[in-house]
Structure 1
Amino acid sequence: MSSLATLAIYLLAGLGGGLVALLTGIPAAPLAGALLGAGLVSVSGRWDLAHWPPGTRTGLEIAIGTVIGTSLTSSALSELRQLWRPALLITVTLVATGLVVGLWSSRLLGIDPIITLLGSAPGGISGMSLVGAEFGVGAAVAALHAVRLITVLVVVPVVIRLVLAFTAGHSSR
């Protein structure tokens, strides 16, 4: 099968997975669904790996950066004036925890420390996978972040609803 046809299969699987995931209502559903759709095609072994045209990755990195950049509004920066302390505390704690968990996982499980450090880093799947690709471990890092992302997207909204229900029940007393 031609590489263009293989790439089309992956794109359709990602598109289909993203559209189906939209029906779930979970946050970032298109990202998680596209990841699962294309990932399932990839792990099935029925098709060759997708070979993206030169420059595609750079284009996607620019697009991801642009999407993230457009969320940085003046009101977000205004809020950051009041939230800089929790932002600093959260960032330092997450980075330190990621380093400890990554190194500990590497030693305990005998996994390449680059994979475990990038896999436990508090970044998004797209960003950390791109960094992992620079080190030649992008697929492994993507797999770790996919598990984390899907778990967080499913578990955290449930926990928030439980906390809100619990606190609402206690605030009326």
Structure 2
Amino acid sequence: MAPADAPLSVETVLVPVDGTDQATKAAEYAIAIADRYDADVTAVYVLAETISRAIEREAVDHETVAEESQSYLEGLTETAAASGVALDATVAYGFSKTKKSQHPGSVVLDTADEIGADFLVIPREDQHEDERDTLAKAAEYVLLYASQPVLSV
């Protein structure tokens, strides 16, 4: 239940993550918001283009990628549980060879719609290029097109 003085009702917070420090920081904010509003968190691990392409070419073992992603998400689940917040987690490809419109920003917004998220927390763009910094590329798109309130951290 939201605090009586809260101008906003939040039941589900979505936080896209990609294993970066910025994504972990965003997840911590999402957990704090969920704690404040007695809400749940869903974390969606968005795989980078290079990883998605490597899996498609079988240049990288998809099971190894799944284990690494799962390990990261388990850490977030433990962090949320320590705050008394329920966290669900999933993994999604940020890019697709067959769907031209699939990119990290669309994955975040599609996931938000699918789960009925009413608040989004997303890492903001960073000043350096990192091939794993998938969500920084999605931040502007999400800020422009999200129908939910968005906190960019």
TM-score where L is the length of structure 1: 0.29
Which structure is higher in RCO with an 8 Å CA cutoff and minimum separation 6?
A: 2
Larger Rg: 1
Relative to its length, the structure with more strand (as a share) is 2
TM-score by length of 2: 0.32
